[in-house]
Amino acid sequence: MATFDADEQEQVDAIKHFWRAYGNIVMMVVLAVVVGFGGTKWWEHRSMTKAQSASATFNKIEASEAGDETDRVSSLSKELIADYSGTYYADLASLNLAKVASDGGDHQQAIDLFLKVIANDRDASLVPLAKLRLAALYVITEQFDLAMNALDGDAGSSMSGLYADMRGDIYAAQKLNDEARASYEEALERLQEGNPWIDIVQIKIDSLGSQ
């Protein structure tokens, strides 16, 4: 039979005393940690599954776009936005739905969708694109101050040329040809060599010269 010396017995008694006094608290902490760890894993799994499902729905939207199925693009986009509102794909769907609305003449719905994507501010690449498209809609609806305000902020190097081009469009729509030309020339400087949009901007500049 195992025996304990005095020091060992004191340690055993101390451990027993500790567990009598704090055992419940320790078990609660351990349980919380285990549940928390499991909860984190569950949340990670749920988030991944949600993103995969959203991606699958978005692939259907792209296929419908390729097939020029406007009604299906609209219904799938609404479904994705409703079911996966916290995802990047929901913002992509909002951009698609805004295009459908704009093409159908519902400019206000498109504007509201672009504003929502901008307010969500979930992705650094989508927000500048949403601002650019929002500005274009404001030009169509002749809300020129709002169009210019939509382009506030850093567009990033990849979008700066397109932003300058849009400013040119805003000025040109108001017959402010000198300002439009300056913006278009800025766009030419910022657009990367080989960008097909360069030819379009040059045509805009040449058009101003004949007015």
Q: What is the 3-state secondary structure (H, E, C) of 77-115?
A: HHHHHHHCCCCHHHHHHHHHHHHHHHHCCCHHHHHHHHH
Q: Among 30-34, 50-54, 169-173, name the most confident range.
A: 169-173
Mean pLDDT of 44-53: 57
Beta carbons of 168 and 144 less than 8 angstroms apart: no
Write down the H helix ranges in the chain: 6-66, 70-83, 88-103, 107-120, 126-140, 144-150, 157-173, 177-190, 197-209
188 compared with 50, residue with greater pLDDT: 188
Residue among 86, 149, 73 at smallest CA distance from 116: 86
Note if the pTM is more than 0.75.
Answer: no
| Res. 34 pLDDT band, cuts 50 70 90 | very low
Residues 119-139 have pLDDT tens digits of 988 877 788 989 999 999 999
3 compared with 138, residue with greater pLDDT: 138
Residue 103 to residue 137: CA distance in whole angstroms? 11
Distances (CA, A) of 113 to 16, 98, 102, 133, 190: 64, 6, 10, 11, 28
What pLDDT is attached to residue 4?
A: 47
What pLDDT is attached to residue 158?
A: 80
At residue 166, does pLDDT exceed 90? yes
Residue 133 to residue 116: CA distance in whole angstroms? 13
Least-confidence region, from 49-53, 58-62, 131-135: 49-53
At residue 210, does pLDDT exceed 50? yes
Beta carbons of 126 and 91 less than 8 angstroms apart: yes
Beta carbons of 161 and 192 less than 8 angstroms apart: yes
Mean pLDDT of 31-47: 44
**Mean pLDDT, the chain, integer:** 78
What pLDDT is attached to residue 44?
A: 43
DSSP 8-state class, residue 122: -
What pLDDT is attached to residue 45?
A: 39
Beta carbons of 62 and 93 less than 8 angstroms apart: no
| Res. 63 pLDDT band, cuts 50 70 90 | confident
